[in-house]
Amino acid sequence: MTVSRRHFALSAGAFALAAGPAFARASGKAKASPAPKEVQARSPLLSYEGRTADMGDGTVRAGFPGVVLRTRFDGTKLTLKTAASSDNLYLDISVDGGAPKMVHLAKGAQQLVAFEGTAGTHTVEIARRNESWEGVWDIAGATVEGGGFVTPPDLPAKKLMFIGDSITCGAACDVARDDPREDMTVNNAQKTYAKLLAKRLNTQVHLVSYGGRGLIRDWQGIRDTNNAPQFYERAAPDEAGPLWNPANYVPDAIGIMLGQNDFNQGIPDQNEFVNAYVEFVEKVRRDAPKAVVFLIDTPIATDDAIPRRTVLQAYIDEVVRRLRSPLVSHANIKHYAGRPANGHPIAEDHIGIADELEPLFKKALG
């Protein structure tokens, strides 16, 4: 898969990228301007929504999809000190609630100008679009010129968490149904059913998801890999440490959409799959014992060649029966055609999934 490397160098009021220390150049007039105000990555003036990892050097790592960095400042320019582990990472940047602009992060350390324009108080949101396997996004700090940071907006009190695979990551959703493109720009966690539900219900949301992975095996049938029971425990999905501290985010309701990849190579053994699912749900409920948990059908599976959909639904019903908890139920959603190119739901399909799940989650949240 070839990804075009695109850099944006836009006019005032938009966004630009530049690499290296030469990016911040001072002119002779700079002495008359207020000094830039700089904060480190974990400053309370930088607000994160989504699962992140604290690295040993003070960097905040966003390895899961859909992580959003929010900040508010009074000034003329906001620069983020950041880095990408690959050339596959794309961000959405929104200023003062405006339409998001997609920005490509080249591999390596760089300075990202998230805003440059008219003086005043501005709120900026920077969101990771990509799937977990496409690389990690690191944040080291941020700088404001022409003013300073102010307290960012509060996050909603209610919390959701969705655990899943590429569907929950937003793989190949930001594209027309008949568009054959397969580059990284078509992936967009912000257009998933999970993000839509969070917006509609005014909640925070964490996407603990990884494309191609399942409960007991990945899409190729590989068992000895980083499947859901493993990446669920981690702060960054491909790194054994640091582990995620579940006390940092206790969801009120949880959706688990797994099984598509386990069934990709054929129907798995019932006892193995159901036992693994039961054990996994018990692990999740250990961390959030009061949360309502929905085990959601995959929207991709069909009964065309073999009865994948029917069997998966029966397995999920058995998981619910064995758990015997009024807080755990099966959320049965319909099949969505997705894209002919790869079967993934597109944005309008995610809207349909959110429509089906909204009454369930709304009731769960009271």
pLDDT in tens, 67-112: 999 999 999 999 999 999 999 999 999 999 999 999 999 999 999 9
The reply to whether 2 falls in a domain is no
The reply to whether 164 falls in a domain is yes
Quick one: which of 94, 89, 114 has its CA closest to 187?
A: 89
Beta bridge partners of 159: 204
How high does pLDDT run on average in the chain? 91
Q: In CATH, what number is assigned to the domain containing residue 112?
A: 2.60.120.260
Give the global pTM.
Answer: 0.91
Residue 15's pLDDT is 39
Residue 139's pLDDT is 98
**Other beta carbons less than 10 A from residue 354's beta carbon:** 20
pLDDT at residue 47 tops 90: yes
Helix axes 270-287, 308-323, angle to 10 degrees: 50
345's tokens:
């739901």
pLDDT at residue 23 tops 60: no
The reply to whether 3 falls in a domain is no
Tell me, yes or no, whether 21 and 70 share the same domain. Answer: yes
Quick one: which of 194, 220, 227, 223 has its CA closest to 299?
A: 194
Pick the range with the lowest mean pLDDT from 33-42, 109-118, 204-213, 330-339.
33-42
Q: pLDDT-based confidence at 25, cuts 50/70/90?
A: very low
Tell me, yes or no, whether 143 and 268 share the same domain. Answer: no
The reply to whether 137 falls in a domain is yes
Q: Which of 116, 150, 184 is the last residue of a domain?
A: 150
The reply to whether 8 falls in a domain is no
The reply to whether 1 falls in a domain is no
Tell me, yes or no, whether 313 and 193 share the same domain. Answer: yes
Residue 34's pLDDT is 52
Percent residues over pLDDT 70 in the chain: 90
- 325: domain range? 159-364
The reply to whether 345 falls in a domain is yes
* Residues contacting 144, CB < 8 A, separation 6+: 36, 37, 38, 73, 74, 75, 77, 78
Tell me, yes or no, whether 91 and 176 share the same domain. Answer: no
SS3 per-residue string spanning 26-81: CCHHHHHCCCCEEEECCCCCCEEECCCEECCCCCEEECCCCCEEEEEEEEEEEEEE
Q: What is the pLDDT of residues 167-176, one digit of tens each?
A: 999 999 999 9
Residue 91's pLDDT is 98
Q: In CATH, what number is assigned to the domain containing residue 353?
A: 3.40.50.1110
Tell me, yes or no, whether 261 and 188 share the same domain. Answer: yes
Q: Are 300 and 260 in contact (CB under 8 A)?
A: yes
SS3 166: helix
Total structural domains in the chain? 2
Output 231 or 23, whichever has higher pLDDT: 231
Half-sphere exposure (Cβ direction) of 51: Cα atoms closer than 13 Å: 29
pLDDT at residue 17 tops 60: no
Q: pLDDT-based confidence at 342, cuts 50/70/90?
A: confident
Output 3 or 142, whichever has higher pLDDT: 142
Between strands 159-164 and 253-257, the pairing is: parallel
Tell me, yes or no, whether 276 and 225 share the same domain. Answer: yes
Q: Which of 95, 115, 150 is the last residue of a domain?
A: 150
Tell me, yes or no, whether 137 and 175 share the same domain. Answer: no
pLDDT at residue 273 tops 70: yes
Residue range 307-321: average pLDDT?
Answer: 98
Tell me, yes or no, whether 143 and 175 share the same domain. Answer: no
Q: pLDDT-based confidence at 341, cuts 50/70/90?
A: confident
Pick the range with the lowest mean pLDDT from 7-21, 44-58, 180-194, 223-237.
7-21
pLDDT at residue 1 tops 70: no
Residue range 295-318: average pLDDT?
Answer: 97
Tell me, yes or no, whether 207 and 106 share the same domain. Answer: no
The reply to whether 85 falls in a domain is yes
Tell me, yes or no, whether 98 and 179 share the same domain. Answer: no
Q: What is the pLDDT of residues 209-264, one digit of tens each?
A: 999 999 999 999 999 999 999 999 999 999 999 999 999 999 999 999 999 999 99
Residue 322's pLDDT is 98
Q: Which of 117, 150, 183 is the last residue of a domain?
A: 150
Tell me, yes or no, whether 263 and 327 share the same domain. Answer: yes
Residue 35's pLDDT is 55
Tell me, yes or no, whether 204 and 346 share the same domain. Answer: yes
